[in-house]
Amino acid sequence: MTTQYVPPKVWTWDEENGGEFASINRPIAGATHDAALPRGDHDFQLYSLATPNGVKVSVMFEELLEAGHSGAEYDAWPINIGNGDQFGSEFVEVNPNSKIPALLDLTGETPLRLFESGSMLLHLADKFRAFLPAEGPGRTEALNWLFWQMGSAPFLGGGFGHFFAYAPEKFEYPINRYAMEVKRQLDVLDRQLAERPYIAGDEYTIADIAIWPWYGQLARDKSYPNGAEFLDVGRYTHVQDWAERIAARPAVKRGVMVNRLRGNENEQVPERHSAADFEGKAL
């Protein structure tokens, strides 16, 4: 018999609350230790990890370079969140929220910090005038979907992903609650993609770059063990087609490898400093 949880009047932090990420989760912000961030030779310094949010930005850089924007060369440094690198003092100076990715734009007189992946995509799109219309309805539609992703993905990752794959125990209510919401979101995308090749219309934009690492990779069964089968992702045929078309792009193939620290070594580029870092990889 399961004892029903009764919330206390005032919540207190139990450091032994379990779960895969229990050791790095805490209810306070700020640095835990002094740690410098490395700097490379390029104008953009990315501090990240190949999670869905991290992949958004590395894919964006690789797409810009693929499109001929040589000014988008970047150094990418791994932030091992399992080791608590995101709580180092200099990382927190760039991102006070202690989440990856974090980015420094050194093209101006004063270093410009960027945190939140959506902010980075928008900044880079405007800076290089690429993958986002400069004005008009097309820009608005792409931004609609960019912010849809920012608001929706926590239900997929922190909701469904956590309770389905990472929580110390399986609980029916939260898994059902978040599975229902993720399937609704997949249906939203499937209906949108039934009438257009890309999320925001006829052109590939930062909306696709933002949404694909979360929902495209889920559709391709690259997210949570057994999650694709559980959610019956194969029924969302338009999402499936879109996900595979995006995955086949050369820049995406490179971007998903950047700051990757797990899996097949032939698919990892822990640090990225030039195109030469992809030589010999499974592209």
The alpha-helical segments, DSSP class H, found in 129-213 are 136-154, 172-193, 206-211
| Single-letter code of the amino acid located at 139 | R
Q: What is the mean pLDDT of each run of 10 residues along the chain (283 residues)?
A: 84 74 84 97 98 98 98 98 96 98 97 98 98 98 98 97 95 97 98 98 98 98 97 98 98 98 96 97 90
pLDDT at 145: 98
- Are 157 and 204 a contacting pair, CB within 8 Å? no
Q: 214 — phi, psi (to 5°)?
A: -90, -60
Tens of pLDDT along 62-105?
A: 999 999 999 999 999 999 999 999 999 999 999 999 999 999 99
